């Protein structure tokens, strides 16, 4: 993974360092920011192009379409870990952003290889016939980064888990509210929303770079996926 403030790739403990590649970074799934009815229903979701890469998108949740729906397939039906990360602008990112402090992002992964869902825990409606899935909820306490499970490079900034998203010489602090991985082996849907079905802007990153391997269980982590020069 990329060490904060450096241009050098660092691999997890026990693995050799290697050169960074833009293939390791998230790629945009949409051109610009999606909103409204676009990808706002499970019948017309955004297709994740290739789950072996990591993909990002920005979304504006509106009253008529509070849920962002994405569709994914699993290459060769190989068991993989689907990484689901999401957040919003960090309260320290700009003047007036302190109102974002209380935002939380939740998600659900729907697939036939997932357990039966307790529908009573959901605040969204599921597509007809889909009852198997995994509910992913942001931690209420995000003052540390202990809730993160993937190899995103995070740090605590002004009392909130964050990462610095750079764009050439510019960048912005984003909060990391949800960062989970889910074992998958079948195609499915991911729905992402602001808790309480609030309106507002959030970001999502999805990907499953490699099949589940014995060494993954030993390390408890997989290779990082971000480079700070794109």
Question: What does the pLDDT read at residue 176?
Answer: 94
pLDDT tens per residue across all 230 residues of the chain: 223 332 222 222 332 232 233 334 568 888 889 998 899 999 999 999 988 888 999 999 999 999 999 999 998 888 889 999 999 988 777 666 667 778 899 999 999 999 999 989 999 999 999 999 999 999 999 999 999 998 888 999 988 999 887 766 778 889 999 999 999 999 999 999 999 999 999 999 999 866 555 444 443 343 333 323 33
Domain borders along the chain are: 27-219
- Put simply, whether the predicted model's pTM sits higher than 0.75 gets the answer yes
What's domain 27-219's architecture? Sandwich (2.60)
C-alpha–C-alpha distance, residues 228 and 230, integer Å: 6
Strand extents, DSSP E, 39-159: 46-47, 54-61, 67-72, 80-87, 105-111, 133-136, 155-157
Name the region of 174 (left: φ>0; alpha: ψ -120 to 50; beta: rest). Answer: beta
Question: What does the pLDDT read at residue 170?
Answer: 76
DSSP H or E segment with residue 215: helix 214-219
C-alpha–C-alpha distance, residues 137 and 192, integer Å: 10
């Amino acid at each position: 993974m990329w060490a904060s403030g450096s241009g050098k790739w660092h691999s997890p403990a026990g693995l050799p360092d290697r050169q960074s590649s833009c293939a390791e970074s998230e790629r945009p799934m949409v051109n610009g920011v999606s909103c409204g009815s676009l990808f706002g229903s499970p019948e017309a979701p955004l297709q994740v192009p290739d789950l072996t890469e990591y993909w990002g998108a920005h979304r504006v949740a509106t009253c008529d379409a509070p849920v962002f729906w994405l569709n994914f397939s699993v290459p060769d039906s190989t068991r993989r870990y689907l990484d689901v990360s999401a957040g919003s602008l960090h309260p320290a990112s700009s003047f007036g952003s302190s109102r974002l402090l209380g935002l939380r992002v939740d998600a659900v992964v729907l697939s036939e290889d997932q357990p039966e869902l307790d529908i009573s825990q959901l605040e969204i409606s599921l597509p007809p016939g889909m009852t198997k899935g995994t509910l992913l909820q942001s931690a209420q306490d995000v003052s540390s980064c202990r809730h993160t499970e993937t190899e995103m490079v995070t740090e605590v900034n002004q009392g909130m888990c964050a990462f610095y998203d750079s764009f050439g010489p510019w960048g912005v602090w984003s909060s990391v509210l949800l960062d989970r991985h889910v074992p998958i082996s079948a195609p499915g849907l991911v729905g992402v929303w602001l808790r309480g079905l609030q309106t507002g802007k959030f970001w999502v990153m999805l990907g499953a770079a490699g099949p589940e391997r014995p060494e993954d269980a030993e390390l408890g982590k997989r290779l990082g996926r971000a480079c700070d020069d794109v």
